[in-house]
Amino acid sequence: MKPSLWTRDFKLAFAANFLMAFAFYLLMPTLPIYLTGFLHISNATTGIIMSVYVIAALLMRPLAGFLIDKFPRKMLYVISFACFVLLFVAYLEASGAAAFLILRLLHGLVWGVITTSGNTIAIDIVPPERRGEGIGYYGMSMNLAMACGPLVGLLLCEYGPFVHVFQMAIISATLGFILAFLMRVPHKKPHPHSILSLDRFILIKGIPAGVALICITIAYGLILTYAAMYGKQNSIPNPGIFFVAMAAGIIVARLFSSKLLDRGMSMQVAIVGGLISAASLLLLGLFPVSACYFISAGAVGIGYGMTFPAVQHIIVNHGDHHQRGTANSTFFTAFDFGVGLGILLGGQIAQHFHLSIAFILVSISTLLGALLLWRLPKGASIQKL
């Protein structure tokens, strides 16, 4: 009989991550509105303020992995969670572009630590033989937040003063901090390192899978930033529902694919998910009508829901237990790099061509990512307990 997955501490980890991500996604669609509409900050400057978050998180990932493997993981998680809450409080006092730029920079650095440490702790909590399943279910907390956060944030922004958005983020993040504090985390003795080397910051064996992930997450960055704009350009009603459909697809995929990861099928799941995503993005680019728009949203969500946890599982299984922080930071570094590249390339393509061209091009990059995964050594999908 398999050991229980949904233990008290895994439930707390799941809920804490959801509340943290919910606070994050509250601001994703609403902060640009506040900066441009209320503070009269230019669109160009607003774009810099929003993108610096991803850049800061990307720069922090390798150091975060080192810190997580060097120091007690719960201590680092709780401290970064506290900083995450305090920075939301600081938003209440910010009143200019420079202040928000600094706050978003700091928040991005903290995000790089809190997400990496939270994922590593979740992997520590779940039984080894259910690790793939645990990664899949834990990731659902982020997907639920991605579906709920933007909707709640936009409603608060539309029907009340914007300060309510900041207050809701503070409340959500504070509750998450309390739950994180209550978690009981298995003690992992820090592994002694004799020399300072690259593999203390990046898991070398995980780089090939990370390169494939970059090719796939380029499209994810494009979708997060430009899918709603693409819908409006093509007169599609309620384009915000796109993200709800995508989140639903991700959740459904995680429910049926998570158990396959623990059966040694990580590589197959990742490749099939990449192919589904590539086909969905091509559909989105070629046929910008309502039916295809929303069908592709759900389908690309299924693809991502299969690929992301599978690639994380592959990378984590390349490292020993004392390298889990480094392995997770490698996964998230590749993830953030792809997302950031997708945002930048999408903007350049959209400036000179129609967005449909951008979605067709990222469908090709996603297909390339799936092919790179297929070329990885077949032993990469074997679970290391």
Residue range 104-133, pLDDT digits in tens: 999 999 999 999 899 889 988 998 888 878
| Alpha-carbon separation of residue 7 from 3, 12, 73, 125, 384 (angstroms) | 9, 9, 19, 9, 22
Q: Per the confidence metrics, is the pTM higher than 0.85? A: no
| Alpha-carbon separation of residue 355 from 231, 234, 291, 352 (angstroms) | 10, 10, 18, 9
Could you report the per-residue pLDDT of 248-290, keeping only the tens digit for each? 999 899 888 878 887 888 999 999 999 999 999 999 999 999 9
Q: What's phi and psi for 264, nearest 5 deg?
A: 80, 25
How many DSSP H helices and E strands does the chain contain?
A: 13, 0
Do the domains 1-187 and 202-380 sit in the same CATH topology, yes or no? yes
- To the nearest 10°, report the CA torsion of 112, 130, 73, 311: -30
Q: What average pLDDT does the structure give for the chain? A: 86
Higher pLDDT, residue 230 or 319: 230
Residues 6+ apart with CB under 8 A from 58: 112, 333, 336, 337, 340
| Band of residue 382 on the pLDDT scale cut at 50, 70, 90 | very low
Domain segments of the chain as ranges? 1-187, 202-380
Q: Give pLDDT, residue 339.
A: 84
For domain 1-187, the CATH superfamily is: MFS general substrate transporter like domains (1.20.1250.20)
Residues 6+ apart with CB under 8 A from 35: 41, 45, 46, 49, 97, 100
Could you report the per-residue pLDDT of 306-318, keeping only the tens digit for each? 999 899 889 888 7
Could you report the per-residue pLDDT of 153-210, keeping only the tens digit for each? 878 887 888 999 999 999 999 999 999 999 998 876 655 554 445 555 678 888 999 9
For domain 202-380, the CATH superfamily is: MFS general substrate transporter like domains (1.20.1250.20)
Q: Give pLDDT, residue 188.
A: 65
